[in-house]
Amino acid sequence: MIVFDLQCRDGGETFEAWFRSNKDYDESLARGLLECPLCGSANVGKAPMAPSVPKKGKSDALAKLAAAQAELLKDSRWVGDEFPDTARAMYHGDLAPERVHGQATVEQAKSLAADGVPVAPLPLPVVPPDQLN
């Protein structure tokens, strides 16, 4: 036995109906044996299936991460290669503090951290604005 979600084309009600097989359903439909249990209309058919919801996967997590990062960088200025110098200068008060992000080599990042400059790696690589398009 198989169960189908059927829908009344007149009233829009959906209901379940059991059939011996797909063929049984087709034959019952062709003979007008199917009817809406609520209004008795024979104008019924298989209910449209809801689009399958993709399983929460990697791409979804990545999209969320990207959105979170975009939010994080919304008020941040891209300084590119000057990031280590800029971060250091702000730390030492040579530059007005602001949110910046940019590039640093692993060595530069380590050096900044060793000097106590508060920097944090971004979860995702950032495409420099001058490399967009």
Closest separation in Å from C-beta 7 to Zn ion: 9
11 binding Zn ion? (CB under 5 A): yes
38 versus 62: smaller Cβ distance to Zn ion? 38
Output the smallest distance, CB 21 to Zn ion, in A: 25
- Choose the binding region for Zn ion from 19-27, 28-36, 59-67, 68-76 (rule: CB under 5 A): 28-36
Q: Where are the beta strands (DSSP E) in 21-90?
A: 44-46, 77-80
**Which of 90, 12, 5 lies closest to 47 in space, CA to CA?**
5
Q: How many CB atoms lie within 10 A of CB 9?
A: 13
Binding part of the chain for Zn ion, among 21-29, 34-42, 103-111, 119-127 by CB under 5 A, reads 34-42
Residues in CB range of 11: below 8 A, 6 or more apart: 36, 38, 39, 41
Chain positions contacting Zn ion, by CB under 5 A: 8, 11, 13, 36, 38-39, 41
